[in-house]
């Protein structure tokens, strides 16, 4: 088991680092790190990768290289690596990328997609209508919505998923434990959140009484979940964040207490912020402050905080985010569907605000493909900002190393020796990519890939093969999920 702490090199690496630097055909230098010699280790060799886009600090693209991993960690990227491995992938026509990282989702919404009654609504009415369905959540709905939502993410290159779960109906069971179990079945790296709401309709909030809890209940359960599941070590498969729902469904006290508890346990803070003009007006009326100013008074800025959406920030607020390292998860499809607005991503990137990508909940997307999100983000900002828009490669980096930063991780998000082996592969010979791969860095956002990827690898383990989930019975899961979804909606 890897036991070294996040961000620091493995102590053995210093001893064994041979740094066999040699120029590749493309003039790129490869670094080789020798084996740690663990007798029980699992190894993976990916051979002859046509193009490997590393998203590293030097923006390196390797051509015709092998990648070798041991126990989930990349040990070498180089040409003709002479290594025997437990599993070998022939990638001679494949493009290889760091696994995509989703930094905002509500997996439980998987079973409330494409509902005709909410199709023309904006956020507040949309939420009030859907809470009447969501109040019937239980462990079975959570298990199958998590399996199907994360399964779809993985089929489109995602290797780490953050989920913002904030609906805890009384007696619904261990919903977060169920999510972590589903992630283990799939083999995806999972960041769960202990979300929360304590302001129901009778207190001026949006949700019904049956899905809100007291601050005391929420704090006790938050501490329990962090102590049970949070693992901050290098290569961790499980993190917990604290994530009250939004300023209009929680009290100031809940936000304040959440920030204090998160910092005691060194876990991260997340919520929705500046998603709509309705939210801004609500906060001005209730608190006499704009949303970010209100959050700042409660300790909610800093490098351990990231907000979903962040559409309606003004110039000073963007500067505050940059100065404090407070992050933003950009969710373009959801923002378009709910007519919420366009996040000022070009300005954020210019100022140095940490920005990642997310699909948002399945009900406002209505899917779970970060691959689709890449292209929509690219096109949306081209339309809105023309020359100032991020490039296709900028958008890819947002969904990989940018998202990793929001989750507080530097062991994922790039491909290099010493990083986790989280990646995906796409066969460049597929029909829709013919003649389109001259710039592999940007092709995912500019041209886009509609079908499933060929391989997804998480921590050195093949989780998607030939476009299908390799860890669960995909067909049976889909049938079970459809049956449970119908029963849930019929309640």
Binding site for Zn ion (CB under 5 A): 360
Angle, alpha carbons 399-405-407 (nearest 5°): 95
Could you tell me which of 438, 441, 366 has the C-alpha nearest to residue 398? Answer: 441
Nearer Cβ to Zn ion (123/267): 123
CB of 331 to Zn ion, least distance (A): 7
Closer to Zn ion by CB, 28 or 274: give it.
274
Residue 320 backbone dihedrals phi, psi, to 5 degrees: -60, -40
Comparing CB distances to Zn ion, the nearer of 193 and 213 is 193
Q: Record the tokens describing residue 210, joined without a space.
A: 């049956």
* Burial per residue of 31-55, b for 16 or more beta-carbon CB atoms within 10 angstroms, e otherwise: bbbbebeeeebebbbbbebbbbbbb
Nearest approach in angstroms of CB 104 to Zn ion is 6
As measured in angstroms, the least distance from the Cβ of 158 to Zn ion is 17
Q: Which is nearer to Zn ion, 406 or 444 (CB)?
A: 406
| CA angle at 54 for the pair 50 and 57, rounded to the nearest 5° | 145
**Shortest reach from residue 484's CB to Zn ion, in Å:** 22
For the CB of residue 106, give the shortest distance to Zn ion in the complex, in Å.
Answer: 6
Contact between 396 and 402 under an 8 Å Cβ cutoff? The reply is no
Cis? peptide before 484, omega within 30° of 0: no
Nearer to Zn ion, 38 or 125 (CB): 125
Hey, what are 462's tokens? 């093949």
The Cα–Cα gap between 242 and 226 comes to 9
Check: CB of residue 307 under 8 Å from CB of residue 329.
yes
Q: Give the bridge partners for 5, in sequence order.
A: 233
Question: Helix, strand, or coil here: 295?
Answer: helix
Q: Which residue is nearest to Zn ion (CB)?
A: 360
Question: To the nearest whole angstrom, how small is the minimum distance from the Cβ of residue 149 to Zn ion?
Answer: 13
Taking the least distance from each CB to Zn ion, the nearer of 70 and 360 is 360
Q: To the nearest whole angstrom, how small is the minimum distance from the Cβ of residue 385 to Zn ion?
A: 24
Alpha carbons 439 and 305: distance in angstroms, whole number: 34
Nearer to Zn ion, 113 or 319 (CB): 113
- Closest approach of Zn ion to the CB of residue 145, in Å: 15
Tell me how far apart the alpha carbons of residues 399 and 379 are, in angstroms, rounded to a whole number.
15
CA distance 488 to 111: 8
- CB-based burial of residue 171 (10 Å sphere; 0-12 exposed, 13-18 middle, 19+ buried)? exposed
Q: Residue 299: which residues within 8 A CB-CB, separation 6 or more?
A: 256, 259, 260, 263
- Which residue number, 248 or 393, has a Cβ lying nearer to Zn ion? 248
* Cβ 392 to Zn ion shortest distance, Å: 25
- CB closer to Zn ion, 360 vs 366: 360
Q: Report which of 190, 99, 126 is spatially closest to residue 424, judged by C-alpha positions.
A: 99
Nearer to Zn ion by Cβ, of 78 and 361: the residue is 361
How far apart are CB 165 and Zn ion at their closest, in Å? 11
- 3-state DSSP call for residue 317? helix
In whole angstroms, the minimum distance from the beta carbon of 188 to Zn ion comes to 19
Contacts with 57 (C-beta within 8 Å, 6 or more apart), sequence order: 414
In whole angstroms, the minimum distance from the beta carbon of 404 to Zn ion comes to 20
Closest CA to 69 of 34, 87, 45: 45
Q: What is the b/e burial string over 74-103, where b = at least 16 CB atoms within 10 angstroms of the residue's CB?
A: bbbbbbebebebeeebebebbbbbbbbbbb
- Residue closer to Zn ion, measured from CB, 66 or 360: 360
> Based on CB atoms, which residue is closest to Zn ion, 123 or 420?
123
């Amino acid at each position: 088991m890897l036991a070294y702490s996040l961000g620091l090199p493995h102590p053995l690496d210093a001893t064994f680092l041979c740094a066999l630097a040699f120029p590749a055909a493309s003039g790129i230098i490869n670094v080789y790190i020798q084996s740690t010699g663990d007798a029980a280790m699992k190894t993976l060799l990916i051979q002859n990768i046509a193009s490997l886009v590393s998203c590293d600090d030097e923006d390196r693209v390797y051509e015709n290289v092998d990648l070798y991993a041991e126990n989930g960690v990349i040990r070498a990227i180089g040409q003709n690596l002479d290594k025997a491995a437990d599993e070998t992938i022939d990638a001679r026509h494949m493009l290889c990328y760091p696994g995509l990282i989703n930094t905002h989702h509500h997996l439980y919404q998987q079973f409330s997609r494409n509902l005709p009654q909410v199709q023309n609504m904006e956020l507040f009415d949309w939420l009030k209508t859907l809470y009447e369905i969501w109040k019937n959540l239980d462990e079975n709905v959570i298990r199958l919505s998590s399996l199907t939502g994360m399964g779809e993410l993985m089929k489109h290159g995602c290797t780490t998923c953050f989920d913002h779960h904030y609906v805890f109906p009384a007696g619904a069971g261990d919903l977060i434990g169920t999510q972590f179990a589903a992630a283990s079945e799939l083999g995806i790296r999972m960041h769960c959140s202990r979300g929360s709401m304590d302001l129901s309709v009778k207190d001026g909030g949006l949700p019904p009484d049956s899905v809100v809890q007291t601050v005391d209940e929420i704090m006790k359960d938050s501490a329990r979940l962090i102590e049970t599941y949070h693992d901050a070590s290098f290569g961790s498969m499980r993190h917990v964040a604290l994530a009250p729902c939004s300023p209009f469904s929680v009290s100031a006290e809940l936000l304040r207490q959440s920030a204090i508890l998160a910092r005691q346990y060194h876990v991260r803070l997340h919520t929705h912020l500046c998603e709509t003009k309705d939210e801004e007006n609500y906060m001005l009326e209730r608190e006499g402050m704009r949303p970010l100013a209100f959050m700042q008074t409660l300790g909610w800025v800093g490098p351990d905080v990231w907000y979903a959406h962040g559409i309606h920030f003004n110039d000073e607020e963007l500067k505050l985010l940059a100065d404090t390292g407070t992050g933003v998860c950009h969710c373009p499809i959801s923002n378009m569907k709910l007519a919420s607005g366009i996040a000022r991503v070009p300005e954020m990137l210019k100022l140095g605000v940490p920005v990642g990508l997310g699909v948002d909940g399945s009900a406002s997307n209505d899917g779970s493909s970060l691959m689709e999100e890449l292209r929509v983000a690219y096109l949306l900002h081209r339309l809105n900002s023309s020359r100032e828009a991020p490039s296709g490669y900028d958008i890819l980096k947002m969904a990989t190393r940018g998202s990793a930063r929001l989750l507080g991780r530097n062991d994922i998000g790039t491909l290099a020796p010493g990083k986790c082996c989280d990646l995906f592969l796409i066969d460049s010979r597929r029909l829709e990519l013919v003649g389109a791969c001259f710039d592999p860095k940007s092709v995912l956002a500019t041209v886009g890939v509609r079908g499933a990827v060929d391989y997804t690898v998480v921590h050195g383990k093949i989780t998607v093969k030939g476009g299908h989930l390799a860890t669960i019975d995909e067909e049976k899961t889909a049938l079970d999920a459809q049956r449970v979804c119908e029963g849930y909606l019929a309640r």
